[in-house]
Structure 1
């Protein structure tokens, strides 16, 4: 007898901001990933994380029932009503005793748009607190701030990925796409097949740098000087696009003066990049008919990240590489919904639709959708690290959804201590992360294949993840959690559990805002492989906006703004006690804090644990051999991991991946010095010393 097989469910990978299309084939043993070749972003290609994503759906590795802290201090199973009662009591008690801002909410860049929207609304309406932010502040906040300053609008890529192969030259700054977003490497391959050139800027020679026509390896923390040096050469060599500058920009004289103070020989001394390489980079970039600069966490996760990104934007504007096809500046967002997560209210200073919380008109519009008095909405709160740093002092209770700062936050041991000092901590997550292990209540929630919802990828393409299977009986969605808590806090209405109903409200709340989703529906997304915002609700259906700024920039006068910036040192420079620079990043087989990928056997086999990459000269000075334990010590902590000796890194720099807790936790070392504009911590550079460690660490 022939058995009919259910058709695969079209959905998207739960990990990075590519949001690769995939199919999920339901079966007796769960679901199997199948290719979805028609989806334009990845055209069927998936990395190992995407292929193995269903492994985290297993009850063997994920949470399946609520947990509450017993009088003896242990997490024990409980029913949902008891768990929600405890959470509402803990949050309400802190609010009653210390005021609404004694309650904090911390979200995640992996939450769907619906959940991010509902979480922001819950904080401001049900709790009345200003203290909400999310781990996306650690992702691309500096690029977002620089976008806003220069263009008047922040969208990671103002053009589709498909435009990259049509560029003549791409400068990739601080990104290792081959390990962080492998399916995107095809765009770089096609660029080169089309005769274009690739310049990679990274202190390490990575798998991505191996593909470059030119690899520049600056000293960590000097990307700003490098960009200014290139712009100086553009001016000195007469390579400006004077017509574009005059017609479509403002502020050039001041930016020019700032760049001219960074002459090439000075930049060579600061960065360690030889002058001939600087000149070649300028020639490749300016000789091409159209060029792009793409940045990622390398230049952004610095205490001067906003200015650094601004310098790269200035380079694009000065050469006319903005606001036209196959040219421009873009940011490679990291987290799965890092873009949408900040557009709709998780961020401390923003309301849905990318509206400013301080704008009276924005407050009035959103308050009207929510049915509350605009004056009742709190003002801006603390940024992510500042919120975490205030735990246990000003902030007494915290609700956390989809984040693991015990591993992912800078100065992580301090943040772990702050979490432990709280009067009350509730964590909603898929797995029992290192942060969830500290909670008073842990709420098991649905994950990507068990729920429907939208995400927004790095292109600004709004996508639909579809439910492919039922969650375990003891698991509820985050929307159910917020509904139950809001009801207990006196808000019986306003927090629906149906994701499409939430999205329809989000559409109304975003209408007329910079990130306008009002013309996007679940039906349109499904029919069109996603819809690019802004997409207002118009009488004739708006087509969406794949390419921004072709006619005008999103500033009041339609002109892009040059911002004069000047190089300054990292917040912490090497000295006699800490003579080496540390930089951090990801590896191919793990993702972010590793809370999910570390539970997948195949991925752990490929990347079983942390390591310290260092140059042979440095290894010899320290007296460590390949594979032997080496201690990395900063002013904030100590981490120990096996040495990985390689000439692919500068002799003055060491690299550690940040996916693991325990002795090898890289973020025990990192510096929480904040960018003054974006409030992004300086993950990417700090001063350390190395010591040979005993075999037991």
Structure 2
């Protein structure tokens, strides 16, 4: 590194379990390169295909650099530049008027997972102190993991589970509803270490994903039937007499009742429910019965259906039955967030009275006339929220004052009255914790913000001042907020200080390595793993697919080139994504006259979107798949997969049901002509 260069340590802010540590090289005030931090034990020097283009993204021509005011109809995306003083004056006047006339609950602060920072984003509920002073409605961030988190909390007392690094010690690895090589690829290194020692890797997924193709075995399960498979596997464990009776007696409660539930799901019944061969279920059950330790990676995709919370709770029962929680490399890894014990002080005492809670995935229903201001930050609901057509209808309300804090002119920005320019990660300070590893990370700003962009924290400080609010905590600096976060006194934070984080970039939580999370008991009322009452399997809404007008089960998995809707406006990543596509099994394609490369409409009673057909055995008959993340205004037909996704909720936590929807697929254009045979005639103009 030359004498004129700086090496600045930071962290990826995006909604991914890996929360990478990165190193930004700065020359003459400009960020000239970024790489994964080779010293970080989880990042190990590698970033993903998406974040490798992050510096390019910060300098993209379409970046919003100044406050804007709408000058055209809502949805047209026409704005004029205004000053920060003008923006703050207009916003403060409108907010005061709304509070005086309708009360604070008429304001909905709509915060998403665009950044998971504890200062600037979702994990620390950025801005909540400000909203509490105003008495705004509470925002339920249920879009991602709510159902599964609730299910795990019921059985474990926490959603925290395995340290993913201990998968290197596993001898059987079940990658359950998770596409590791696309959504958290750093785990794969630890899986490879386990394989080198003889581990067997099984992918349980409706799609033959990149990960499934690399696994030793792939079980193409029907969407939403995961809990039934878990019960069937445990049924085989019992038939083998391999349950850990000592562990069940000493560390769990409710076993006898749960055992009876397991016995109701023999492999032959589970085969009918899941669509998997009975022999495969028995074989995996026998392997599970006799392989210690078994590590299960179950992430957010499989809980986005009607029985999502139950599914995670039932899968989480497996290591209690087998006793895998005794061993490093055994158990379930869903999210490590439950092991993060920061002091998230949102000052809820500032609320003068209790307020209502509005769920983000119900935006289409709950954004009614009682909401007079929608404040969107870290989110792009026009692209990412279910029931897209209904959401659009609500966002066009002329009586709704909409403010969007953003970096790019997203679908949602088009409906804003005021747009405020937001900084990106290399331009502000933040504190992060991975939900797929055991490290805290500090993000030091590497460069000055471009234009008039401000961090989220600074925007709320300036707005509080403009409104004349006197609550002192509204003006805490970013470093003050970080110190407060680290002040919980929890043993896992022993030795972790802000000075150390800023110097070293990252610090492992103060827990043993290897980490066995429940060695001293579970954080439940009983101190035991609680199987509990209630059903152990809730069928998906798509279970009735064959008998209705929409016979295909649609799932909307994470794309490889975007992260949610972030990067979906990057020209190169958009090109490499090949646009919206729908995977259709050959049997289903033949029945509908669909051909590879053909344009089609995917539709149901909620709406429709257009996609290019990809005829593929990667999905089983009766299932179609189309990746999420595309922007509505950049998609053919002006709609994305969320136009057909229902806004209803899962069984727990008001979770979303992105993978539990029924659709039909029909041709929009004739099939693409077949290429001429080698050596055949060349059509005029073909090579232009």
- Give the TM-score normalised by structure 1: 0.88
Matched ranges for 1:301-320 at <5 A: 301-320=304-323
Aligned match of 1:549:
518
Q: Which residue of the other structure, out of 563, 581, 587, is the alignment partner of 1:591? A: 563
Whether the aligned pair in 1 keeps the contact of 2:170 and 2:295 (CA below 8 Å) is yes
Deviation string, structure 1 residues 180-211 (Cα, Å, up to 9, x no partner): 22333222222211211111111111110112
- How far is the alpha carbon of 1:218 from its aligned partner? 1.1
Matched ranges for 1:403-414 at <5 A: 403-414=379-390
Aligned match of 1:349:
none
For 1:237 and 1:544, locate their aligned partners in 2 and report how far apart those are by CA, in whole Å: 33
Aligned match of 1:630:
600
Deviation string, structure 1 residues 225-250 (Cα, Å, up to 9, x no partner): 11111122222221211111111111
Whether the aligned pair in 2 keeps the contact of 1:91 and 1:424 (CA below 8 Å) is no
Aligned match of 2:358:
382
Deviation string, structure 1 residues 446-484 (Cα, Å, up to 9, x no partner): 111111111110224221112111111311111111112
Whether the aligned pair in 1 keeps the contact of 2:133 and 2:351 (CA below 8 Å) is no
Q: Does 1:605 align with 2:575?
A: yes
For 1:218 and 1:150, locate their aligned partners in 2 and report how far apart those are by CA, in whole Å: 24
Whether the aligned pair in 1 keeps the contact of 2:132 and 2:351 (CA below 8 Å) is no
Residue 147 of structure 2: SS of its match in structure 1? helix
Aligned match of 2:233:
230
Whether the aligned pair in 2 keeps the contact of 1:132 and 1:381 (CA below 8 Å) is yes
For 1:89 and 1:472, locate their aligned partners in 2 and report how far apart those are by CA, in whole Å: 27
Deviation string, structure 1 residues 586-628 (Cα, Å, up to 9, x no partner): 22112102xx412333322311311011111111111111111
Aligned match of 2:18:
18
Matched ranges for 1:464-543 at <5 A: 464-492=442-470, 493-496=472-475, 498-508=477-487, 510=488, 520-526=496-502, 530-531=506-507
For 1:147 and 1:519, locate their aligned partners in 2 and report how far apart those are by CA, in whole Å: 29
Deviation string, structure 1 residues 69-125 (Cα, Å, up to 9, x no partner): 237763211111111222223333222222221111111221410134363533553
For 1:543 and 1:61, locate their aligned partners in 2 and report how far apart those are by CA, in whole Å: 46
For 1:544 and 1:199, locate their aligned partners in 2 and report how far apart those are by CA, in whole Å: 26
Q: Does 1:562 align with 2:567?
A: no
Matched ranges for 1:171-570 at <5 A: 171-322=174-325, 324-331=327-334, 339=337, 353=344, 370=347, 376=352, 378=354, 381-386=357-362, 389-421=365-397, 423-458=400-435, 459-492=437-470, 493-496=472-475, 498-508=477-487, 510=488, 520-526=496-502, 530-531=506-507, 547-564=516-533, 565-570=535-540
Aligned match of 1:133:
140
Q: Which residue of the other structure, out of 94, 97, 107, is the alignment partner of 2:111? A: 107
- Alpha-carbon spacing, 1:328–1:30, altered in 2? closer, same or farther (3 Å): same
Whether the aligned pair in 1 keeps the contact of 2:20 and 2:36 (CA below 8 Å) is no
Please list every run of 5 or more consecutive structure 1 residues that lacks an aligned counterpart in the other structure. Answer: 334-338, 345-351, 354-365, 536-541
Aligned match of 1:672:
647
- Alpha-carbon spacing, 1:48–1:389, altered in 2? closer, same or farther (3 Å): same
Q: Which residue of the other structure, out of 550, 554, 559, is the alignment partner of 1:582? A: 554
Whether the aligned pair in 1 keeps the contact of 2:364 and 2:388 (CA below 8 Å) is no
Residue 5 of structure 2: SS of its match in structure 1? coil
For 1:81 and 1:563, locate their aligned partners in 2 and report how far apart those are by CA, in whole Å: 56
- Give the TM-score normalised by structure 2: 0.89
For 2:620 and 2:512, locate their aligned partners in 1 and report how far apart those are by CA, in whole Å: 48
Deviation string, structure 1 residues 425-448 (Cα, Å, up to 9, x no partner): 111112121111111111111111
Residue 44 of structure 1: SS of its match in structure 2? coil
Deviation string, structure 1 residues 631-654 (Cα, Å, up to 9, x no partner): 111221111111011111101110
Moved more, 316-325 or 434-443: 316-325
For 1:306 and 1:114, locate their aligned partners in 2 and report how far apart those are by CA, in whole Å: 29
Whether the aligned pair in 2 keeps the contact of 1:507 and 1:519 (CA below 8 Å) is no
For 2:131 and 2:339, locate their aligned partners in 1 and report how far apart those are by CA, in whole Å: 16
- How far is the alpha carbon of 1:380 from its aligned partner? 6.0
Residue 208 of structure 1: SS of its match in structure 2? helix
Aligned match of 1:358:
none
- Alpha-carbon spacing, 1:527–1:58, altered in 2? closer, same or farther (3 Å): closer
- Alpha-carbon spacing, 1:410–1:603, altered in 2? closer, same or farther (3 Å): same
- How far is the alpha carbon of 1:382 from its aligned partner? 2.6
Please list every run of 5 or more consecutive structure 2 residues that lacks an aligned counterpart in the other structure. Answer: 673-688
Q: Which residue of the other structure, out of 606, 610, 622, is the alignment partner of 1:640? A: 610
- Alpha-carbon spacing, 1:403–1:320, altered in 2? closer, same or farther (3 Å): same
For 2:646 and 2:456, locate their aligned partners in 1 and report how far apart those are by CA, in whole Å: 32
For 1:380 and 1:205, locate their aligned partners in 2 and report how far apart those are by CA, in whole Å: 42
Deviation string, structure 1 residues 314-368 (Cα, Å, up to 9, x no partner): 11211112254111111158xxxxx499988xxxxxxx64xxxxxxxxxxxx58x
Aligned match of 1:360:
none
- Alpha-carbon spacing, 1:132–1:146, altered in 2? closer, same or farther (3 Å): same
Deviation string, structure 1 residues 638-682 (Cα, Å, up to 9, x no partner): 111110111111011100011212435011111222123211111
Q: Does 1:4 align with 2:3?
A: yes
Whether the aligned pair in 2 keeps the contact of 1:532 and 1:545 (CA below 8 Å) is no
- Alpha-carbon spacing, 1:478–1:231, altered in 2? closer, same or farther (3 Å): same
For 2:287 and 2:499, locate their aligned partners in 1 and report how far apart those are by CA, in whole Å: 44
Whether the aligned pair in 2 keeps the contact of 1:234 and 1:240 (CA below 8 Å) is yes
Deviation string, structure 1 residues 487-520 (Cα, Å, up to 9, x no partner): 2344233223632111223344x556xx986864
For 2:363 and 2:339, locate their aligned partners in 1 and report how far apart those are by CA, in whole Å: 17
For 1:544 and 1:503, locate their aligned partners in 2 and report how far apart those are by CA, in whole Å: 26
- How far is the alpha carbon of 1:543 from its aligned partner? 8.3
- Alpha-carbon spacing, 1:104–1:532, altered in 2? closer, same or farther (3 Å): farther
Deviation string, structure 1 residues 507-547 (Cα, Å, up to 9, x no partner): 44x556xx9868643223346663456x6xxxxxx989955
For 1:547 and 1:305, locate their aligned partners in 2 and report how far apart those are by CA, in whole Å: 26
Whether the aligned pair in 2 keeps the contact of 1:118 and 1:479 (CA below 8 Å) is no
Aligned residues: 653
Q: Which residue of the other structure, out of 652, 655, 664, is the alignment partner of 2:625? A: 655
- How far is the alpha carbon of 1:289 from its aligned partner? 1.9
Residue 358 of structure 2: SS of its match in structure 1? coil
